[in-house]
A and B are shown apart, each in its own frame.
Chain A
Amino acid sequence: MGSAPANGPAAAAEPALLEVTDLVKHYRIRSRQLARSGLSLRAVDGVSFRVGAGETLGLVGESGGGKTTVGLSVLRLVQPSGGTVSFEGRDVLAAGRVELKALRQRMQIVFQDPIGALDPRKSVGDSVAEGLRIQGLAPRAEARRRAVEVLDRVGLTPAQARSLPHELSGGQLQRVGIARALVLDPRLVVCDEPVSALDVSIQAQIINLLLDLQDERGLAYLFIAHDLALVQHISDRVAVMYLGRIVESAPAGELFGSPAHPYTRALLSAVPADHPSAARQRMVLRGEIPSASAPMTGCPFAPRCPDAMAKCSDEAPQFKEISPGRWAACFLND
């Protein structure tokens, strides 16, 4: 973790596995009343980060922060409006159809709701094998054999491999979701809230599986979640998003130990206590995350920030390195 690459535009010389620079994704607002206003929803508004081989970058923040859009953009499952995504040195956003297909073999995604990604009429084994066939990596029989192997690795029996999705529990389905990603032997897996729909005891099983697979295969994860304790547990580095921007990024221990951005501080102090005696002085934020379509100048967090100064609502702070490996966008660190 000590050698983890810095996160930011002007980071270390060593090429990262994944490098995202100034990523922007705007959605046009289709509502009739608002169409003429020229407003757009800035889901992602200039995001840069790196993920090194075998590393886990946790991406946290509240709903509407843009985390999921970042994850989808990395695989180009949505088409970003601007910026670059570079994976193993190749430009993902400029890739043609054939190259993109090859890239997506090396980077995969696991969703919160695995059942949505599975064909309800196909055995889960066949769904896992399908990826291999689409990629032209294995003939049918071989693909099926490898699917059973991978399913076995994630803890499902050959009999369960023959089940239909509705016959499996939530935890088992998420194992299938992981197997589907894994069967292509990727280097990077985007995990979008992979355990948030699962019960506590099952969450732990899946987290352990992800940690073991990382050890065995040197996988890198972009781990998107709103559960801060979980992200702290699994991540080497953590980036905090607010209204489409990364407001802070740092090695996990430092970010949770001494947060540099007021939003990170608010987020951490809002996490329920891990012990009843930890009755802490809470920093309760006023209001809720505003809509990303509201016109905005200055720091996006300024309206809710307990430390906001006059210039915060006029001028947006730069996202810059405040100490080696630590990045934040806040005037308080100047």
Chain B
Amino acid sequence: MTEPLLSVEGLRTHFFVEAGVVKAVDGVSLEIRRGEVVGLVGESGCGKTVTSLSIAGLIEPPGRIVDGSVRFDGTELVGAPERVLNSVRGPRIAMIFQQPRASLDPVMSVGRQISQALRSGTGMDRPARRRRAVELLNRVGISDPDRRVREYPHQLSGGMAQRVMIAIALAGEPDLLIADEPTTALDVTVQAQILELLRELQAANDMAVILVTHDLGVVAEIADRAAVMYAGRIVEECSVSELYDAPLHPYTVGLMESRPAASHSKSRLRVIPGSVPVPLDLPVGCSFAPRCEARSATNLTVCTEQAPQSVSPRDGHRVRCWLHG
């Protein structure tokens, strides 16, 4: 088997705040192959964004990667000098966010922002960068790119701003795109446009994508594999079809079943009781145990005593749950 493009091992990213240590990411391992789209799924506070920021080397104090390794195409990124990080982050690992307008510089034209992304490493001169900026805008489906290249972020709609962010991300022809809730702030018809664009670019450039999202529908649309996070850990990892047809972890099962289904109009939805634990005060044992109905049905005592290890009951399917090993 070829080496994965990205290999995350035992990643722990903690935040040292006055109230204590927030273990936002607490032992995440994940592999991404070239050209693969992985959905990193979970509810707010589960650590999915901190995981992606850790991979991109964007954790700032009071946060710190306290343990683990992030290897990208053979290079270790945790603890790597700024020079190494800069050669990877941007050109080879690019990132887009939920609020495209907040991520763009409001006082710099769209063209200059793309041009700046092109400056590092490409060796293009200014006119060439300008031409490439127009090309990239055209590539992400912005009409009239010659005019748009001179515009400023406030002149763009939300959907257009996200297209510009994608153009900037594509400037270095990255091997890995991390997209953090890229369509959450957009209307549903615009979301469909952006997902279509991401899918098309991903296939054309054989780019790997980590899609961070709370929306299982978006995962179904675009991802090959899914990793479900809960309280700082990946509790289940499998193909998207198995996520939908044969989820194993009780949390995943609950999430899948709590979505409103068209066929059962006005019936009560299945709920996961309680709420996500506060990361400052995680329960001993499995973090999901206090909310787990499967546990209360089977009366397993180990769940509240010891954290389960990740096991693989099926090929390509990993789960952290005592019910499965």
Contacts and interface: CB of A to CB of B under 8 A. Distances in A.
A272 B214 CA distance: 13
Contacts of A233: 260-262, 264-266, 269
13 contacts: A200-B43, A200-B259, A201-B271, A204-B259, A207-B269, A233-B266, A234-B266, A270-B192, A272-B217, A273-B220, A273-B221, A274-B261, A274-B262
Given A201-B272, A207-B260, A234-B266, 5 more contacts: A201-B255, A229-B262, A233-B264, A233-B265, A278-B220
Interface in A210-244: 211-212, 226, 228-230, 232-234, 236
A267 B189 contact: yes
Contacts of A236: 266
B275 to A, nearest CB: 6
A236 B266 CA distance: 8
Given A267-B188, A275-B244, A200 B255 contact: yes
Contacts of A226: 187-188
Nearest to A234: B266
Query: Which of A201, A208, A267 has its CB near the most chain B CB atoms (within 10 A)?
Result: A201
Interface string B170-197: 0000000000000000011111110110
Interface string B230-256: 000000000011001000000000110
Interface string B24-48: 0000000000000000000110000
Interface string A163-205: 0000001010000000000000000000000000001111111
Interface in B208-228: 214-218, 220-221
Contacts of A171: 275
Interface residues of A, number: 43
B244 A276 contact: yes
Contacts of A272: 191-192, 195, 215, 217-218, 220-221
Interface stretch (A87-95, A116-124, A282-290): A282-290
Interface of A: 62-63, 169, 171, 199-205, 207-208, 211-212, 226, 228-230, 232-234, 236, 252-253, 256, 266-267, 269-278, 282, 284-285, 288-289
A266 B191 CA distance: 12
Contacts of B157: 288
Contact of A275 (B196, B220, B271, B272): B220
B153 interface: no
B271 A208 contact: yes
Given A199-B44, A276-B240, A276-B244, A232 B265 contact: yes
B269 A252 contact: no
B282 interface: no
Given A62-B187, A267-B188, A275-B244, A200 B258 contact: yes
A270 B191 contact: yes
Interface of B: 43-44, 157-160, 187-193, 195-196, 214-218, 220-221, 240-241, 244, 254-255, 258-262, 264-272, 275-276
* Closest A-B pairs by Cβ, 10 of them: A272-B217, A233-B260, A270-B192, A204-B258, A199-B43, A62-B187, A204-B269, A201-B272, A276-B220, A204-B271
A279 to B, nearest CB: 8
Query: Which of B158, B216, B266, B268 has its CB near the most chain A CB atoms (within 10 A)?
Result: B266
Contacts, number: 122
A201 B220 contact: no
Contacts of B264: 233
A226 B189 CA distance: 11
Nearest to A275: B244
A282 B192 contact: yes
B44 A274 contact: no
B265 A285 contact: no
A203 B260 CA distance: 10
Query: Which of B187, B214, B254, B264 has its CB near the most chain A CB atoms (within 10 A)?
Result: B187
Contacts of A284: 189, 192-193, 196
B221 A200 contact: no
Nearest to B141: A286
Given A62-B188, A201-B254, A277 B241 contact: yes
A274 B275 CA distance: 24
A42 to B, nearest CB: 19
Contacts of A270: 188-189, 191-192
A271 B271 contact: no
A271 B254 CA distance: 21
Query: Which of A252, A269, A270, A285 has its CB near the most chain B CB atoms (within 10 A)?
Result: A270
A199 B275 CA distance: 9
Contact of A232 (B43, B221, B260, B271): B260
A230 to B, nearest CB: 5
A242 to B, nearest CB: 11
Contacts of A201: 43, 254-255, 258, 271-272, 275
B187 A271 contact: no
A207 to B, nearest CB: 6
B265 A228 contact: no
A321 to B, nearest CB: 23
Given A199-B43, A200-B255, A211 B268 contact: yes
